[in-house]
């Protein structure tokens, strides 16, 4: 197993697609507990370390996908380690493919009701043999959370997709993982259900292949500048870390 890499104040796993799939299959076949899969990207450099609960959940994750091209380049600059980007919005289909082939069931939790319903329908069309054990939208109150956990348990789903956005989905897993009886793989998928449902358009393949999906999304939705303005700061931090500069 490749050693986890530290990028500034968070981590990323140096995996390719095949290695990540193999780990998921191992979790499903031999795991005795829920295994967390979260996305590691530059934005989380600025959010995860500030929240002790989130930092612990992130650190304890079983797979930290190299979701952002920034993490891939940072690992190359800081550690000389080369591996491809694995977008969480694509890796959900790797997991669904494994589940359909091996007979595992999934539960989809999160997003608006119409988005959740439409995305599940599209997943079902894409994988006719996949057992969809259940689904629930993301508008569940804290008082109703025990009932949701019970629904997930009663469904006997092996795989749980949580689409609550970060940091809510990571914290949800940390709080309720010990109450999940049958789930062995849990992936935080953020806003992926919107793209599966078709309410949000993903960047064309050529943009993704060039590592410019972030730019496409910014051009499509200029309001994202509030989030992406951190990218130059991230790049500067990586350069300073590479040359060994330390703040006095």
Residues 148-172 have pLDDT tens digits of 999 999 999 999 999 999 999 999 9
Is the predicted pLDDT of residue 64 greater than 50, yes or no? yes
Instruction: Look at residue 65 and tell me if it is in a domain.
Output: yes
Phi, psi of 148 (to 5 degrees): -65, -45
DSSP labels, 29-58: HH-SS-EEEEEE-HHHHHHGGG-HHHHHHH
| Low-confidence winner among 33-42, 132-141, 181-190, 217-226 (lowest mean pLDDT) | 217-226
Mean pLDDT (whole number) for 97-107: 98
Instruction: Look at residue 185 and tell me if it is in a domain.
Output: yes
Which pLDDT belongs to residue 230? 74
Which pLDDT belongs to residue 208? 66
**With contact defined as beta carbons under 8 Å apart, do 116 and 110 qualify?**
yes
Mean pLDDT (whole number) for 66-80: 93
CATH of the domain at 35: 3.40.50
Instruction: Look at residue 246 and tell me if it is in a domain.
Output: no
Which pLDDT belongs to residue 215? 62
Which pLDDT belongs to residue 248? 36
Which pLDDT belongs to residue 36? 98
Instruction: Look at residue 133 and tell me if it is in a domain.
Output: yes
- For residue 109, which of 180, 32, 23, 202 has the smallest C-alpha distance? 180
| Low-confidence winner among 9-18, 48-57, 220-229 (lowest mean pLDDT) | 220-229
Between vectors from CA 120 to CA 117 and to CA 122, what angle results, nearest 5°? 110
Q: How confident is the model at residue 177 (pLDDT cuts 50, 70, 90)?
A: very high
Q: How confident is the model at residue 91 (pLDDT cuts 50, 70, 90)?
A: very high
Which pLDDT belongs to residue 6? 95
Q: How confident is the model at residue 217 (pLDDT cuts 50, 70, 90)?
A: low
Is the predicted pLDDT of residue 126 greater than 60, yes or no? yes
DSSP 201: P
Instruction: Look at residue 234 and tell me if it is in a domain.
Output: no
The whole-chain average pLDDT of the chain stands at: 91
Q: Distance between CA atoms of 212 and 224, rounded to whole angstroms?
A: 14
Which pLDDT belongs to residue 235? 85
Is the predicted pLDDT of residue 31 greater than 60, yes or no? yes
Instruction: Look at residue 222 and tell me if it is in a domain.
Output: no
Is the predicted pLDDT of residue 144 greater than 90, yes or no? yes
Instruction: Look at residue 227 and tell me if it is in a domain.
Output: no
What per-residue string of b and e applies to 205-232 under the rule 16 or more CB within 10 Å gives b?
eebbeeeebbebbbeeeeeeeeebebbe
Instruction: Look at residue 130 and tell me if it is in a domain.
Output: yes
Range of the domain at 118: 5-197
Domain count, the chain: 1
Q: How confident is the model at residue 138 (pLDDT cuts 50, 70, 90)?
A: very high
Mean pLDDT (whole number) for 110-118: 98
Beta-ladder partners of 47: none
Mean pLDDT (whole number) for 224-232: 67
Which pLDDT belongs to residue 226? 60
**With contact defined as beta carbons under 8 Å apart, do 79 and 230 qualify?**
no
Phi, psi of 109 (to 5 degrees): -125, 125
Is the predicted pLDDT of residue 197 greater than 70, yes or no? yes
Which pLDDT belongs to residue 111? 97
Residue 1: CB atoms within 10 Å: 7
Q: Distance between CA atoms of 37 and 110, rounded to whole angstroms?
A: 16
């Amino acid at each position: 197993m490749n050693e986890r890499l530290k990028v500034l104040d968070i981590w990323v796993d140096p995996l390719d697609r095949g290695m990540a799939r193999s780990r998921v299959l191992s979790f499903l076949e031999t795991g005795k507990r829920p295994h967390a899969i979260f996305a590691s990207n530059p934005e989380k450099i600025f959010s995860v370390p500030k929240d002790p609960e989130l930092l612990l959940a992130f650190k304890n994750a079983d797979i930290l996908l190299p979701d952002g091209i920034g993490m891939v380049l940072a690992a190359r600059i800081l550690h000389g380690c080369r591996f491809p980007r694995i977008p969480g919005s694509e890796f959900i289909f790797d997991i669904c493919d494994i589940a359909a082939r091996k007979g595992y069931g999934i539960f989809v939790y999160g997003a608006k009701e119409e988005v959740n319903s439409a995305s599940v329908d599209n997943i079902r069309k894409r994988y006719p043999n996949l057992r969809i054990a259940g689904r629930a939208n993301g508008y569940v109150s804290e008082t109703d959370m025990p009932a949701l956990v019970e629904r997930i348990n009663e469904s006997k789903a092996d795989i749980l997709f949580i689409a609550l956005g970060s940091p809510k989905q990571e914290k949800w897993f940390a709080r309720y993982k010990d109450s999940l009886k049958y789930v062995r793989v849990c992936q935080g998928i953020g806003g992926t259900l919107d793209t599966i449902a078709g309410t949000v358009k993903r960047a064309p393949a050529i943009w993704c292949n060039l590592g410019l999906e972030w730019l496409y999304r910014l051009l499509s939705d200029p309001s994202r500048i509030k989030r992406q303005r951190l990218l130059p700061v991230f790049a500067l931090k990586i350069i300073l870390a590479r040359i060994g500069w330390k703040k006095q």
